[in-house]
Structure 1
Amino acid sequence: MSELRFTEDHEWLRAEADGSVTVGITAFAQNALGDVVFVQLPELQVYEKGEEAATVESVKAASGVYMPLDGEVVEVNPVLESSPEQVNEDPLGAGWFFRFIPADASAVDQLLDQDAYDRLIKANAQA
């Protein structure tokens, strides 16, 4: 799966060839936060779905980045420690937060696809 998947918490996920899954926040989320000034990356450990894994702080607010599925974080993006603005500049690329190995790889496919995520954003904008 090279296409992105999304959560209702505005995280994106991309399955990698090695079986890991890369996680970041969506363009919608980083835009809502404003200029990102600090990112606290997760520890390399096992997390449960919904558990706060990372924190992103902006000029407007601080927000949690939640574990989208049960799994073990195996890598973090060290660039964000010295250049948190990468989250704003390239949220779907260089601004990724962490990679994890999901407990159930097929669960990634159950998350929102691009169309479903776009509908979620549209529904939130109308609410």
Structure 2
Amino acid sequence: MSEVKQQLWYTEEHEWVERTEAGTVRMGITDFAQHQLGDIVFVELPAEGAAIAQGAEIGTIESVKTVSDLFAPVTGTVLRLNEALESTPELVNESPYEKGWMIEVEIGSDVEEALGKLLTADEYKKLTADES
């Protein structure tokens, strides 16, 4: 059974979002997604300062099985990348919610409004139960 954290928001594409500071969020892929992908060998992320739009492709994640697209869960500007993923992409498998986070984003609009468009933990649990 995959771990779903109550304090996070989720997308149907299996990204998670955590509010970090006023107007900023951190994102990564879920425990469910990393289990589906298998051993992660490479992560391609947008550049710092890049403008991203909710639902748009922002990078890729490569495992020994496949390459998958990463999608922006919110609209905003990339503030910071998890540079540790360049040399140790397996952090996504080992710790998808802590050490395996991918980017921090400054949201250009109301944070509550942006998070309101995402799935709650309970909604995400139901989604992944249907996909298992």
Same fold (TM over 0.5): yes
Letter in 2 for 1:25: I
Structure 1 moving runs of 4+ over 3 Å: none
Mapped to 2, the partners of 1:73 and 1:98 lie a distance apart of 7
Is 1:16 the counterpart of 2:20? The answer is yes
Deviates more, 1:20-29 or 1:44-53: 44-53
User: Kindly, what percent of the aligned residue pairs are identical?
Assistant: 41
The offset of 1:18, in angstroms, is 4.2
Total equivalences in the alignment: 124
Mapped to 2, the partners of 1:94 and 1:55 lie a distance apart of 18
Unaligned runs of 5+ in 2: 1-5
Letter in 1 for 2:105: F
TM-score normalised to structure 1 length: 0.92
Residue 50 of structure 1 corresponds to 55
Residue 120 of structure 1 corresponds to 127
Q: How large is the RMSD of aligned CA atoms in angstroms? A: 1.3
The offset of 1:110, in angstroms, is 3.1
Unaligned runs of 5+ in 1: none
Residue 27 of structure 1 corresponds to 31
Is 1:99 the counterpart of 2:104? The answer is yes
SS in 1 for 2:7: coil
Letter in 2 for 1:29: A
Mapped to 1, the partners of 2:117 and 2:7 lie a distance apart of 13
Mapped to 1, the partners of 2:118 and 2:55 lie a distance apart of 13
